[in-house]
Amino acid sequence: MHILHLTPYYHPAYAFGGVVRAAEGMAASLVARGHQVTVLTTDALDQTTRCIEPTEETIDGLRILRRPNLSTRLRGRLNLSTPRSMKRTAVSILPTVDILHVHEFRTVENLLVTPVAQALGIPIVLSPHGTLNMSTGRGRLKATWDRLLSPAVAQRIDHVIALTETELSEVRGIWARFGKRQKPTNFSVIPNGVHLKDFIELPSADHFRRRHGLGNAPTVLFLGRLQARKGVDVLVRAFQRAKVEHARLLIVGPDEGMLSQVQALAAGDSRIVCTGYLGSDERLEALAASDVFALPARGEGLSMAILEALATGMPAVISPGCNMPEVVTATAGFVVDATADAVAVKLRELLVDADLRERMGMAARQLVAERYTWERVAGELLSVYSQL
């Protein structure tokens, strides 16, 4: 089977968050199953910078086609692509493709490529990655987009893959507004995954801990973009209220509007360390150096950062908005309201009890091994593709 993945950003553009890692994990796992996979994307590296990687390359059997954006300014201001020659590339490659799998819904890429696929009768699968809900940001732009552009794209989608049952319910409600197709759109739930082997043998944490002044202190990790819905401000307050004086809070991720508020809250507290965005190697070092993961988010799809933390054997303190109640049923951590007081109680419980951290950490890794590996996800994706 030849599968084309269409995404606004791809490796190494990890500054855009979990969508990049999810698309990369899907593509690699499908290649490992013996399928032909092509990724069509843009040259975006972050909100202001272009990739220096070749416009076309093949890595471990995976073909990647990058088309240049006309404007990096629009990417930074509105998070919109302006891909040059994207449609021409689609016209060239789609006749050889069996399935088009698009990532995120409200994208310029979808406006350009899905009509070509529809005209050729190629089935189209959508992974929204938790971005459909208005609460995940840019609500005014999304509402305008939905009024003018979304119904036509939605009519072309044959199958929508939600990350969780919560997202599935949201997707069905949103899709009902876009009108009925002659052949109804189908829906399913397939989670994100990780390559577990990448997190079993992590790099040594010693150098990272020395560089960031963590010492031997038990360390709470926040890993994600610094934006309001991620709850990083709640976490800073919670950490301070937990009153574990020898502990550290490590905040890793690019600023998307919250850094100044975090710095103001943490002013004078040397236990709180902000690193900014970290590349892949340093990201693994940060995971290796940490003992507890925390994400009191107000709206998530299925966080790649949570899965990576659990895969390293870290217990998690997360909110209901993270859509992972399995963390509680697997005794791999706690799900609590996204308030400073509620999060503080569970942070303190884990920070002062190394045995509890170890027990929950072992359960966390087992949970990922059983439910959230890319190998398992690939099988579920191929089932959807085959039905189409």
Of residues 239 and 134, the one with the higher pLDDT is 239
**pLDDT over 70 (residue 134):** no
Please give the average per-residue pLDDT across 51-55, as a whole number.
88
| Rounded-to-integer distance, Cα 374 and Cα 68, Å | 29
- Residues 6 or more apart whose Cβ sits within 8 Å of residue 256: 225, 226, 227
Query: What confidence score (pLDDT) does residue 257 get?
Result: 87
The per-residue pLDDT for range 293-336, each reduced to its tens digit, is: 999 998 777 889 999 999 999 999 999 999 999 999 999 999 99
Query: What confidence score (pLDDT) does residue 137 get?
Result: 59
pLDDT confidence band for 54 (50 / 70 / 90): confident
Please give the average per-residue pLDDT across 283-297, as a whole number.
95
Question: Mean pLDDT score of the chain, rounded to an integer?
Answer: 92
Using only C-alpha atoms, the chain has a radius of gyration, in whole angstroms, of 21
**pLDDT over 70 (residue 138):** no
Query: What confidence score (pLDDT) does residue 136 get?
Result: 57
| Rounded-to-integer distance, Cα 17 and Cα 274, Å | 17
**pLDDT over 90 (residue 78):** no
**pLDDT over 90 (residue 56):** yes
Please give the average per-residue pLDDT across 247-267, as a whole number.
92
Query: What confidence score (pLDDT) does residue 229 get?
Result: 87
Query: What confidence score (pLDDT) does residue 262 get?
Result: 92
Query: What confidence score (pLDDT) does residue 317 get?
Result: 98
pTM for this entry = 0.88
- Residues 6 or more apart whose Cβ sits within 8 Å of residue 70: 82, 83, 84
Query: What confidence score (pLDDT) does residue 274 get?
Result: 95
Of residues 62 and 80, the one with the higher pLDDT is 62
The per-residue pLDDT for range 154-184, each reduced to its tens digit, is: 999 999 999 999 899 999 999 988 888 888 8
